[in-house]
Structure 1
Amino acid sequence: MVTDQNRRSLLKAALFGACAPVMPLGCASQPASKPALIGCAIKGRDKFSAVIADRNGQAIKQLPLPGRGHGVAVHPKLTQATAFARRPGTFLMVFDYQSGEMIQLRPADDQRHYYGHGVYSNGGEWLYVTEGERGTSRGIIGVYDVAHQYQKVAEFSGFGIGPHEVIVMPDDRLVIGVGGVHTNGREPLNLDSMQPSLTYLTPNGTILEQVALPDHHLSIRHLAHDGSDTVLCGQQYRGKPEDYPSLLAMHTQGGALKPLLAEPEQWARFNHYIASIAANEQWILATSPRGSCYGIWSKQTGELVELAALPDASGVVAYGDEFQVSSGSALVINHRYPERAVQHVSNVQWDNHWSPIA
């Protein structure tokens, strides 16, 4: 339920939602750099923002958020993007990434909360958002009509509880990382009976396929695809603290989930959690802010080829054969494997995920 305090926070953010350039530029000034990345950031104690950055991860504009953000969806045609509150989230914010102006700040519906992720349809008509029913964690994909002020027009459900990330495939199928965890706030309540899955839906919400890993304590959460038919899913392990199973898997619809390979002591470095994932033709990169590291796997063999330390490793995007990784320590890594990674300092304390602007 959206409380009066939540609504006051949203109104305050709306009143101060104009663009906040990092350099001493007015909102009407044109930045020298072209917007290329969007992510959420921490600006200080209880201060959060959505950040529009250039190709090197340097901020161009920042928009205040009423709470901590998580993922960002970028429209495929319009200069619009949507930032989502960290779960259990009470808001989503739509903004223009060229002008830096907020378009809409929308509170979650009564008895609903946001899980922190969403994605636009390939044609840009719809915004699909992972949501949950308060009190039960029943999983919902909220469908919002972009052309009509992001009105909610449908809800898809019936696929399980605790959905986290949703992505859209090139052929318009939706894929959901269903975590399977019932929570009260952020407290898990059903670890013994959780049922995570990787779920495929038609654009109209019909379930096409659901697959799961053998260990039901592997909560499927973050997703990516390789530009074709392969889906990558990253897990959060909710089992015994001393166990270190594979936290990353590949899947093509109709087949089995294939865990990627690393030694238990290498998986231990990820501290039971995979955050952002990106892939190109040869390599897969996944980050772990809890483990302050990232790993690179061979897409062909499924084997870990590099494990690197990065404090609070968070977002990742792929530009051809080069990966770019963000961190909460304001470092940005450019890595064209097997070449040596190049590190530089950003002007942003990045938080959670990055989304590229096409």
Structure 2
Amino acid sequence: MKRRHFLISGAAGAALSMARPSWAMAGAPAYLTAASKEGNSTWLVGLTEQGDVVFELPIPSRGHAAAAHPFRAEAVAFARRPGRFAVVLDCATGKEIARLDSPEGRHFYGHGAFTADGKLLLTTENAYDVPDGRLGIWDAEDGYNRIGELPSGGIGPHEMIRLADGSFAVANGGMQTHPDYDRAVLNIPSMKPNLTYLDAQGLIVDQVEPPADMRLNSIRHIAADDTGRVVIALQWQGNPLTAVPLMASHRRGEALAFFDHPETVRLKQYAGSIAISSDGAEIAVTGPKGGHVLFFDGATGAPINGRALPEASGVAQFGDRFAITLAGGLLEGGASGGKMLDVAGGYSWDNHLVSIRRV
């Protein structure tokens, strides 16, 4: 079967979709995140907007991010690189529905996205012996059976998102890794990250690379607004004493635009997660290694301010501003302040907080 046919034909099974709970029926968590506890136990955690834990599901090792189904109360949570499992979760009950295993010669990169019709799941993967980036294709109407793969357009595909028009953006981080060497970067002399765009059928339609002096600024995590503008959280792989911006944005047909901030140094060269507020007024970039969050003007990219927030990790939209996971709980707010919510359980959060009812 040709790769184009995978995404055009999708999969049969509308009756199956109707039989499963919808987001309207679920009425349960607003967010899904991965976390660990004392003793190195690892979990998927469902949270309400009030910071209540709706469910926690044990997983084999550290998780990373998740993809929410566009219609069903269902999400797929991925292992942290170089993990080989993904868990399909019924978000109405907090129960595991299915488990995905990466095929031989592949591992997951912690992210994925559903097609707009919800029939297929695409997963970012490392074909580590090639080496090359791939997008696995899984039939969400047939028990998440794997039915093929696509090129990601680069090395080290990390986060991918579905854009408002049903197309996709993929952050090819440029970092060649191999599970035999854990998380070591093997190609610093030749590293070339890019942002790749695919149409709704999975065909690459556009790519953009950083300029030469920014080629070690790995394109890792991305978010987009309804106009198709993509904002980017970067992770610098060069000299740790070199000052570089860790936020960029892009519109198709233009060059990457980089935006610095007076408090960028507080992130320790590592931007974790990124989000745009629903009204477009602010962009938030977390720095889990530095315990800091940077806020930028959503229209111009100009710095607004930064906030010291211990273990600031995942960020997602909350009303016109953000929900941010941090040590002991959540912040609901933005650059000008907000409400701190305690979350019971003693969790240490991973990098992402995924909205699972706003897809």
TM-score category, normalised to shorter length: 0.7 to 0.9
- What is the aligned partner in structure 2 of residue 293 from structure 1? 292
Conserved 8 A contact 2:234-2:270: yes
1:333 counterpart residue number: 331
Q: Does 1:351 align with 2:350?
A: yes
Distance in 2 (alpha carbons) for counterparts of 1:347 and 1:137? 42
Aligned mate of 1:92, from 86, 90, 107: 86
1:212, 1:134 → 2: CA distance? 22
Distance 1:207 1:199 in 2: 7
Identify unmatched segments of 5+ residues in structure 2. Answer: 1-25
- Report how many residues are paired: 323
1:198 is aligned to 2:195:
yes
User: Structure 1 counterpart of 2:310, which letter?
Assistant: P
Question: Matched residue of 1:110: which SS?
Answer: coil
Q: Give the drift of 1:158.
A: 5.8
Asked if the contact 2:194/2:219 (under 8 Å) is kept, the reply is yes
Deviation larger for 239-248 or 133-142: 133-142
Q: Which residue of 2 aligns with 1:283?
A: 282
Q: Does 1:259 align with 2:258?
A: yes
Given that 1:177 and 1:198 are in contact with CA atoms closer than 8 Å, whether structure 2 keeps it comes out as: yes
Q: Secondary structure at the match of 1:317?
A: strand
Counterpart AA for 1:191: I
Equivalent pair of 1:226/1:278 in contact (CA under 8 Å) = no
Structure 2 equivalent of residue 6 of structure 1: none
Matches within 5 A, 1:133-212: 133-157=127-151, 159-184=153-178, 185-212=182-209
Question: Residues 152 and 196 of structure 2 are in contact (CA less than 8 Å); yes or no, is this contact kept in structure 1?
Answer: no
Judge conservation of contact 1:37–1:57 (CA < 8 Å) in 2. no
Structure 1 position 33, deviation (Å): 7.9
SS of alignment partner, residue 196 of structure 2: strand
Query: Equivalents in 2 of 1:33, 1:159: separation in Å?
Result: 38
- CA offsets per residue over residues 21-62 of structure 1, 9 Å max, x none? xxxxxxxxxxx9831111111123231011111112321111
Distance 2:153 2:28 in 1: 40
Residue 302 of structure 1 aligns to a residue in which SS? Answer: coil
Determine if the alignment matches structure 1 residue 111 to structure 2 residue 105.
Answer: yes
Label 1:192 to 1:134 Cα distance change in 2 as closer, same or farther (>3 A): same
What is the Cα deviation at residue 226 of structure 1?
1.7
Q: 2:55 matched to 1:36?
A: no
Distance in 2, Cα, partners of 1:337 & 1:269: 16
User: How many Å apart are 1:344 and its aligned residue?
Assistant: 2.4
Shift of 1:135: 2.6
Please show how residues 121-140 of structure 1 align to structure 2 within 5 Å: 121-140=115-134
**Paired residue secondary structure (2:264):** helix
Q: How does 1:19-34 map to 2 (within 5 A)?
A: 34=28
Change (3 A) 1:234 1:137: farther
Deviation at 1:116, TM superposition (A): 0.5
User: Map of 1:10-21 to 2, 5 A cutoff?
Assistant: none
Q: CA deviation at 1:342?
A: 2.3
Aligned twin of 2:41? 47
- Greater shift, 150-159 or 245-254, is seen at 150-159
Q: Specify the alignment match of 2:7 in structure 1.
A: none
Residue in 1 that maps onto 2:71? 77
Distance 1:113 1:336 in 2: 35
State the identity %: 35
2-structure distance, mates of 1:153, 1:89? 20
CA displacement 1:295-330 (0-9 Å, x = unmatched): 110022211111011111111111231211002x22
Equivalent-residue separation in structure 2 for 1:244 and 1:58 (angstroms): 39
- SS in structure 2 at match of 1:186: coil
Q: Tell me, in whole angstroms, the C-alpha distance in 1 between the residues paired with 2:193 and 2:36.
A: 30
Residue 131 to residue 35, structure 1, CA distance change in 2 (3 Å): same
In 2, distance between residues paired with 1:79 and 1:158? 27
- For residues 336 and 108 of structure 1, the distance between their equivalents in structure 2, rounded to whole angstroms, comes to 37
